[in-house]
Structure 1
């Protein structure tokens, strides 16, 4: 059985194999825990009136958006793997993508090589899985953070890249699947030598993140 660390919340009802129905719009900020048992995930049935699926890198950001009931302002489903995507969270996202093919999937991650690596794992699969890499891949759009967003972030929020960031950047650069727009963002990270966390947007107020997401979606500002 695969272990799981992921959660999901928002405009989604889940019918479990035993017939119980979970309304994810009334849960607490921790959301619905995604089981690591893929056979159980495969039997779940989904009902939703959402218009978007938003994948969040960090659990703290996920819980903040859940507390703010972002899905009542923007009809969406929020999910997180609490860091690097595990198989169970990727499998559930893939199943949602199959169930609601019309819903765009957006990713919200830190502006650093690790954040981009997370987007690429959802989008292209994990290179460590070999031939299995593309099995749960979804057409994820990178909503932010982007280089153009950095103008609204104070200088004190810019942090130097860590050696691990540079290792990840080097690995991503060698990937033939990396699209040009992602490669351009990655080059900017390395040239600037900086990384910026999503939390830096809170300098504009704790309610700003929801407004940021809404504006990015309306303006089709994603990669």
Structure 2
């Protein structure tokens, strides 16, 4: 009998599932996700009216938004993740200042476009936004920053401002849904992965019987698992990758899956500072977007691997690993200073072991043991015996 078909194979995952707090048969602390069109338009109009009021009284206009670049503005709440403090330090954007005149003009223009989008019930991506006036905007990064600053200033998630991120994430496994355009999608039979929709909040009829979601750092690993037929063998699973750094839409979809189905989520990332950072963003959110963590972070995410302790546990040759650099050491110091460290048992131990071993390990290191080791030995063993932290 296939071990996967035996109920005891899933006992650790079932135990993890039942360990999560539930209120009224739903996961606790689901944020309010719906803002009315009138509320959004009113908030934009209030800022515009304030700017016009300053100008009409002879003042040089200013706008203020939370400083998103400092950890001093960040606090941590275990069931939400990173969030802004109640009295954050602000950044003032002044029209009269040579350093911020362009930034001021960009924010005004982007807000006017957002107002029109919301008013007409239309959506666009940040890339589309840039191409509305590339000469004025200058570069995509300036548009991205303006969108994030406006969202933070208004305290409105950007999808409610009708500006969407460009999707790069892929899905496979036991998941089906209807997208915002009414197209029905099943992820069961895909060969290369189904693209995460751009308008995640427009998804409906989301259905799955998955027992776990595997969040995979790299597209190469995602594709290898598809080639190995991992999702077909395990059946009740969802594979997700954002192809590196987590994008907004992939994070939104994972949060949606968590809120609706309460599925255990396990992260498979490199045992290096960059991979750990990626896992932590899925779990707790990021400093720059801490004001949206309640919509994006899934604090229940567990780190499945690759763990630094796996290097010894699986007899991986340290000489085949990569030596950590001075940049890695600086990143490790930064990770060890994060506000959530005491709430994540095992994280500090794993990070300090990496320092002790003086090496980092990519997921591909498992290929040195066997080409099928990841899908046939490592992951099944981790799932069966609860090898996560």
TM-score by shorter chain over 0.5: yes
Report deviation, 1:51.
1.0
Conserved 8 A contact 1:123-1:137? yes
User: Structure 2 regions of 5+ residues with no counterpart?
Assistant: 1-163
Report deviation, 1:70.
0.9
Report deviation, 1:97.
1.0
Q: Deviations over 1:5-50 (max 9, x none)?
A: 2111111112123332211111122x11123x3xx21121311121
User: In terms of mean alpha carbon deviation, does 58-67 or 208-217 score higher?
Assistant: 208-217
Report deviation, 1:92.
0.9
Instruction: Choose the corresponding residue for 1:209, options 369, 374, 387.
Output: 374
1:85 aligns with 2:85: no
Conserved 8 A contact 2:222-2:239? yes
Give the match for residue 44 of structure 1. Answer: 203
Give the match for residue 358 of structure 2. Answer: 193
Conserved 8 A contact 2:170-2:240? yes
Q: State the TM-score, normalized to the length of structure 1.
A: 0.92
Give the match for residue 181 of structure 1. Answer: 346
Instruction: Choose the corresponding residue for 1:107, options 255, 264, 267.
Output: 267
1:130 aligns with 2:290: yes
User: Structure 1 regions of 5+ residues with no counterpart?
Assistant: none
Report deviation, 1:206.
2.1
Report deviation, 1:175.
0.6
Q: Which of the pair is proportionally richer in helix? A: 2
Conserved 8 A contact 1:113-1:189? no
Q: Decide whether aligned partners of structure 1 residues 149 and 100 sit closer, same or farther in structure 2, where only a CA change above 3 A counts.
A: same
Counterpart Cα distance in 1 of 2:253 and 2:310: 30
Q: Deviations over 1:51-107 (max 9, x none)?
A: 110000110000111122211222210001111111111111111111211x21000
CA RMSD of aligned residues (A): 1.5
Counterpart Cα distance in 1 of 2:166 and 2:317: 38
Residue 243 of structure 2 aligns to a residue whose secondary structure is: coil
Residue 49 of structure 1 aligns to a residue whose secondary structure is: coil
Report deviation, 1:137.
1.0
Report deviation, 1:156.
3.2
Give the match for residue 310 of structure 2. Answer: 149
Conserved 8 A contact 1:54-1:77? yes
Structure index of larger Rg:
2
Counterpart Cα distance in 1 of 2:171 and 2:326: 32
Runs of 4+ in 1 over 6 A off after TM superposition: none
The number of residues matched between the two structures is 218
Q: Decide whether aligned partners of structure 1 residues 117 and 134 sit closer, same or farther in structure 2, where only a CA change above 3 A counts.
A: farther
Counterpart Cα distance in 2 of 1:134 and 1:192: 36
